[in-house]
A = this chain, B = another copy of it.
Amino acid sequence: MSRRRLHLNINILNAGFYGSAWRAPQSDPTAFVDVGHFVKTARIAERGTFDAVFLADVPTLSDRPELRPYQALEPTIVLATIAAHTSHIGLIGTASSTYNDPYNIARRFASLDLASGGRVGWNVVTTAEASASRNFGFDAVTAHAARYERAAEFTEVVTRLWDSWEDGALVADKASGRFVDLDRVHAIDHVGPHFRVSGPLNVPRSPQGRPVVIQAGGSDDGRQLAAAHAEAIFSVAHTIAEATAFAADIRGRAARLGRDPSGIVFLPGLGTLLGSTEAEARRREDELWSLIPGDYSLRRLAGVLQLNPESIDLDTPLPTSIPLPADGGHTFFLATLQIARRDGLTVRQLLRKLGGSTGHRLFIGTPKALADEIEAWFLAGAADGFNLMPDVLPDGLEIFVDEVVPILRRRGIFRSTYDTRTLRGHFGLVEPDNVFARTARAAV
């Protein structure tokens, strides 16, 4: 009987998750283009026996780059570099199903999976940004539903390509001169509305069979994609109740699609801002808040709500007459807006809750209090773990590894050493059936 264990990812968002992280005294302002920063952060996470590092991605220059860094370096390049400097930690990269070809994505992630000994995950995104569409020949972003329809077919093609080599297909026998057993390498001959792909892939299977598929969308389409394909989910949730309801919804959808719902790992996002005392944490927050450039937060809020920034009163709650945005790429933001409305926060309080930039839950307090929260969510079944987003990197992660991880280990819910070597192993996921192997062997 295997014991349920907590899973921890670190989202390496450049100099850190807080909007002003790059301006903090302890951070490197050019960290976003320095693979050394990513490697250093990943090694700290590996010292903390984390399951994986995670890199987000959008193939366009960010909104308002004059004010803050963004994910500039292409994720698989950074992850290959991290792989070379680590031995166990998982490597999860984002790639868009809207602006890539499935053969190229299947191949690049399969190559990274082999290069890292089976530590790779692919986070499928559909890319909502209009500016990205203009880098790929479109005038505007494709409609949400159409993007997700393409994403579902894209993911199906990628996983079939990953299965196109069976285990044992690579023979490499010098004596006989037999290199590959072609009976175990299969064309996929996919023909669908978006793609025609013959295959097979030109990369053999990795030690974990194939990369882990991850999804993060919270919209209805996103949930359906996750239910069909995701083996781990980066969700957004501010309360145990929300997280529990989300997981139940996805598990129900997965079961209706004929999947085993226990084969999905739920990892809500969790921003962390830690201090030795509650007061120290608040001081750290005050300092970071004071460094957020100019009117960045207000303008971002106004942009999402499609309002004139000057029409917004900072010292009252948002008027209830203002409609919240439809969920088209604003899932994270939307959750925070709903909380602000529920709790009657003023716009100023709302902006501060957004940490200058985002809508994930932000924990502010001591390591002990954070460990208590993590344990509570985990034991309640609201989360299998968390996708951590430290305020400033690497020091926010160092505090977590040195002061929160030991508590979680003492409580027996988090590993002290790695006893698996692949991402699939860390997550406790079984290798999915190889559809071609099953068919081919059944036919014998």
Residues in chain A within 8 A of chain B (CB atoms): 22-23, 29-30, 33, 35, 39, 58-62, 65-70, 72-74, 76-78, 80-81, 83-85, 99-101, 103-104, 107-108, 111-112, 114-115, 131, 134-137, 170, 172-174, 177-182, 185, 195-204, 291, 293-294
Q: Which B residue's beta carbon lies closest to that of A139?
A: B196
**Minimum CB–CB distance for A280 against chain B, Å:** 22
CB distance from A319 to the nearest CB of B (A): 30
Contact in complex: A177, B101 (CB < 8 Å): no
A111-B73, A114-B73, A135-B103 known; A33 and B66 CB under 8 Å? no
What is the bound-complex CA distance between A370 and B243, given in angstroms?
69
Distance A78 CA – B77 CA, assembled complex (angstroms): 9
Tell me whether A177 and B23 are in contact (CB under 8 A).
Answer: yes
Cβ–Cβ contact B33 & A114, under 8 A:
yes
- Tell me the minimal C-beta distance from A97 to chain B in angstroms: 13
Task: Point out the residues of chain B lying under 8 angstroms from A111, CB to CB.
Answer: 72-74, 77-78
Q: Are the C-beta atoms of A35 and B114 separated by less than 8 Å?
A: yes
Q: How far is the CB of A223 from the nearest CB of chain B, in Å?
A: 28
User: 11 A–B contact pairs at CB < 8 A?
Assistant: A59-B103, A59-B202, A65-B179, A65-B202, A66-B179, A66-B182, A77-B80, A80-B80, A80-B81, A80-B84, A84-B85
Please give, as numbers and ranges, the residues of chain B lying within 8 Å of A185 by CB-CB distance. Answer: 61, 65
12 more contacts with CB within 8 A, not counting A65-B182, A66-B181, A74-B111, are A22-B179, A29-B172, A30-B172, A33-B203, A67-B179, A74-B104, A77-B80, A78-B115, A80-B81, A81-B83, A103-B135, A135-B198
CA A35 – CA B33 in complex, angstroms? 24
A182 to B72, CA, bound (A): 15
Q: Which of B29, B103, B108, B199 contacts A174 (CB 8 A)?
A: B29
With A178-B66, A198-B134, A202-B59 as known contacts, state yes or no: A81 contacts B84, CB within 8 Å.
yes
Q: Say whether A136 contacts B197, CB under 8 Å.
A: yes
Contact A101 B103, beta carbon cutoff 8 Å: no
Bound CA–CA A78/B197 (angstroms): 25
* A178, B252: Cα distance in complex, Å: 48
Selected from B81, B135, B178, the residue in CB contact (under 8 A) with A115 is: B81
Knowing A81-B115, A107-B74, say if A202 contacts B62 (CB, 8 Å). Answer: yes
Nearest residue (CB) in B for A67 is: B179
What distance in Å separates the Cβ of A206 from its nearest Cβ neighbour in chain B? 9
Tell me the bound Cα distance from A293 to B179 in angstroms.
10
Residues of chain B with a CB closer than 8 A to A58's CB: 202
Q: Are B29 and A73 in contact (CB under 8 A)?
A: no
Bound CA–CA A137/B104 (angstroms) = 12
Partner of A195, one of B112, B137, B177, B195: B137
Chain B residues within an 8 Å CB radius of A73: 111, 114-115, 203
Interchain CA distance A260-B134 in the complex, whole Å: 34
Query: Roughly how many angstroms separate A170 CA and B68 CA in the complex, as a whole number?
Result: 11
Q: Which 10 A-B pairs have the closest CB atoms?
A: A84-B84, A80-B80, A134-B198, A29-B172, A177-B293, A74-B111, A103-B135, A73-B111, A77-B111, A35-B115
